[in-house]
Amino acid sequence: MIKIGKRIISKNSKPLIVAEIGINHFGSIKLAKKIVDSAKKSGAEAVKVQIHLPDEEMSEEAKRIKPGNSNTNIYEIIKSNSLSLKDEKKLKEYIEKKKLIYIATPFSYKAAKWLNDNNLKIFKIGSGECNNIPFIKYVCSFKKPMIISTGMNSLETVKKTIRIVKKHKIPHAILHCINLYPVNYKYIRLGRLNKMIQTFKSSIIGYSDHSIGNTIPIAALALGAKIIEKHFVIEKNRKGPDIICSMDKTELKDLLAASIKIHEAFSSNKEIISEEDKSRRFAFHSVVSKKDINKNEVLSWKNLTTKRPGTGDFLSHKIYSLIGRKAKKYIKKNHLIKKEYIK
């Protein structure tokens, strides 16, 4: 179980939908606030940001590495799309003033310390940091809940990380994730979500999505994901590395609505519900006379059958208990068999 203020995330709670701003603000605090406003207006509970300090999180070699969805090196992408720590603090205050849950991903030790110093309530660990054991241990030292993405990592690697998190008694969630932007459906491997639910039985399991549209997040919810994280944007017609796999306000509203409906669908484990009684009355079958049955006639498959409705004294499966018994009185064809008719 994870507790963020009054919000509890558990295996029985309503799923948490996280609107990920990421770098969709393009380094503009003004645009970042507009994205927050749109998320709030759409009904979001939580907004996530990324705290990038390029020189703290990347070496010189990063200036020669290009991600698969861009012709620009990763250092320049992050540097040109980052907020200053001064603006990050303003954004945190703005998000919390809107009564939204503030979640943040640090990509360096300095960013993690800054977040802790500024009273962050829950850390998000990106897929790239999932196997960074020294960093995981450092973040664990703050004793704050953690949400951990697992893209690009094997199940065995994830197990090592979770063992450390559990050793530090950190409330946590684990998110299935594929780090492609966008990810082709054939690479999503939703079956791994089931595998994670089975493997990490005491952990909250969720899904961080980079697909286009809501199909896969909704499928993940139906499989039992309790957290869905997806990039969020105001306008999809802008250019940016994460825009194509981001949801807009309409998709966010639809995803929130779907999460509530799916949660309601999981809300009861009762085998039979009383609300079906009216349907049960007309849909079930009762034992019925196949033909006229005389007094003292032996009941058999020749004179008994089963038909709707299910309002008789003997439901269909009870026919076996009637075979071989005798009729106490004359029974007209095509009538329900009642207890007082049988010897």
pLDDT tens digit sequence for 116-157: 999 999 999 999 999 999 999 999 999 999 999 999 999 999
Q: Is residue 207 part of a domain?
A: yes
Res 71: pLDDT: 86
My answer on whether 58 and 145 are in the same domain is: yes
Last residue of a domain, one of 198, 230, 265: 265
My answer on whether 260 and 278 are in the same domain is: no
Handedness of CA 72, 75, 76, 82 (dihedral sign): positive
My answer on whether 248 and 281 are in the same domain is: no
* R_g (Cα) of the chain, nearest Å: 29
Q: At what angle do helices 85-97 and 29-41 cross, to 10 degrees?
A: 20
My answer on whether 164 and 214 are in the same domain is: yes
Using CA atoms, how far apart are residues 56 and 110, in angstroms rounded to an integer? Answer: 7
Res 70: pLDDT: 82
Mean pLDDT of 95-122: 98
My answer on whether 284 and 222 are in the same domain is: no
- Indicate the pTM of the whole model: 0.90
Q: Is residue 47 part of a domain?
A: yes
My answer on whether 220 and 336 are in the same domain is: no
- Counting residues of the chain whose pLDDT is more than 70, the rounded percentage is 100
| Residues spanned by the domain of 302 | 274-341
CA angle 295, 301, 303 (to 5 degrees): 35
Last residue of a domain, one of 218, 242, 265: 265
My answer on whether 202 and 326 are in the same domain is: no
Q: What are the beta bridge partners of residue 136?
A: none
Q: Is residue 195 part of a domain?
A: yes
My answer on whether 43 and 147 are in the same domain is: yes
My answer on whether 156 and 24 are in the same domain is: yes
Query: Dihedral (C-alpha) 194, 198, 202, 205: value to the nearest 10 degrees?
Result: -10
Last residue of a domain, one of 240, 265, 290: 265
My answer on whether 199 and 299 are in the same domain is: no
Given the DSSP bridges, would you call strands 146-149 and 172-177 parallel, antiparallel or unpaired?
parallel
Confidence at 273, pLDDT banded by 50, 70, 90: confident
CA angle 107, 123, 238 (to 5 degrees): 60
Q: Is residue 111 part of a domain?
A: yes
Q: At what angle do helices 215-223 and 249-265 cross, to 10 degrees?
A: 20
Mean pLDDT of 290-318: 97
CATH label of the domain that carries residue 294: 3.90.1210.10
Res 68: pLDDT: 80
167 has pLDDT over 90? yes
Res 211: pLDDT: 98
- In this structure, are residues 15 and 77 in contact, taking their beta carbons and an 8 Å threshold? no
My answer on whether 151 and 298 are in the same domain is: no
Q: Is residue 132 part of a domain?
A: yes
- In this structure, are residues 211 and 183 in contact, taking their beta carbons and an 8 Å threshold? yes
Q: Coil, strand, or helix at residue 233?
A: coil
My answer on whether 192 and 315 are in the same domain is: no
Mean pLDDT of 303-324: 97
- Mean pLDDT computed over every residue of the chain: 96
Q: Is residue 86 part of a domain?
A: yes
Give the count of domains, the chain: 2
Res 69: pLDDT: 78
Q: Is residue 2 part of a domain?
A: no
Q: Is residue 93 part of a domain?
A: yes
- In this structure, are residues 2 and 145 in contact, taking their beta carbons and an 8 Å threshold? yes
CATH label of the domain that carries residue 25: 3.20.20.70
